[in-house]
Amino acid sequence: MPKVVDADQYRKELLYQSLDLFAEKGFANVTIRQIAKALGISTGALYHYFPSKESLFEQLVEELGHQEVLVLNSAMATRKTLPKRIEILGQLLLENREILVKHTAIWLDFYQHSQVETILNNRIFQRIERQSREAIAELLGIRDFRLARFISVSIDGILVDQLGKNDSTIFAEQVALLMEMLITYFDKYPEKSSLNS
């Protein structure tokens, strides 16, 4: 049944094509017409693929979450030492700055937007947040989940700072500082990472 595969594939393409619009203007400030125009289809067609604006946005959030986990996991195969792995994490951030900032914009928007529907949305959200942190934990050999959360949270802070800025110099400088902090920290508390043993 190639038809279904195609439709799913097309739906995903539509999601990614709407990413920039949502990231730039936010869910509430983007209209269905704008999205349809950006996608080169009619509003009717858009509703054929997504039952509502909200659903489109949620599927985008979910898709971005999956992608993020994939990228993080792609760095995992390595067998390097802890400092090298920290460097790999930094590289990952630098290489994906643009897309990560967009993720962050979407993410925050989703947060605001979801406080209402609460349950379903937060389930999705929390699962992806957890997977993402587990990937970081595994990459750096961290057993203390609080530490993994801290790293994740710091990265988010750096990304949030980039919103509406797109200043890669500041980004690089902040990532470098985070890496430096982590190295210093793991130097002092080597037991925090299983890679040091």
Partner DNA sequence: AATGAATGAGCGTTCATTCAT
Partner DNA sequence: TATGAATGAACGCTCATTCAT
Residues that bind its own copies (CB under 8 A): 24-26, 28-29, 105, 108-109, 111-116, 122, 146-147, 149-150, 153-158, 160-161, 163-164, 170, 173-174, 177-178, 180-181, 184-185, 187-189
> Considering Cα of 168, then 174, then 175, then 176, what sign does the dihedral take?
positive
- For its own copies, the closer CB: 12 or 106: 106
157-161 contact pairs (CB < 8 A, 24+): 158/93, 159/100, 159/101, 159/103, 159/104, 160/104, 160/108
- We find the least distance from the C-beta atom of residue 77 to its own copies, in angstroms, to be 28
- We find the least distance from the C-beta atom of residue 179 to its own copies, in angstroms, to be 11
- For its own copies, the closer CB: 13 or 98: 98
Among its own copies, DNA, none, residue 30 binds (CB under 5-8 Å by kind): DNA
- We find the least distance from the C-beta atom of residue 184 to its own copies, in angstroms, to be 5
- We find the least distance from the C-beta atom of residue 55 to DNA, in angstroms, to be 8
- For DNA, the closer CB: 113 or 149: 113
Sorted by sequence, the CB contacts under 8 Å of residue 6 that are 6+ apart come out as none
What residue ranges bind DNA (CB under 7 A)? 3, 7, 30-33, 41-45, 47-49, 51-54
Q: How far apart are the C-alpha atoms of 131 and 10, rounded to whole Å? A: 26
Which of 56, 59, 63, 61 lies closest to 39 in space, CA to CA?
56
CA distances for 30 relative to 10, 20, 56, 163, 180, angstroms: 21, 11, 12, 17, 39
- We find the least distance from the C-beta atom of residue 15 to its own copies, in angstroms, to be 20
- For DNA, the closer CB: 55 or 166: 55
- For its own copies, the closer CB: 58 or 109: 109
Residue pointed to by tokens 């970081």: 136
Residue pointed to by tokens 């038809």: 3
> What is the C-alpha R_g of the chain?
19
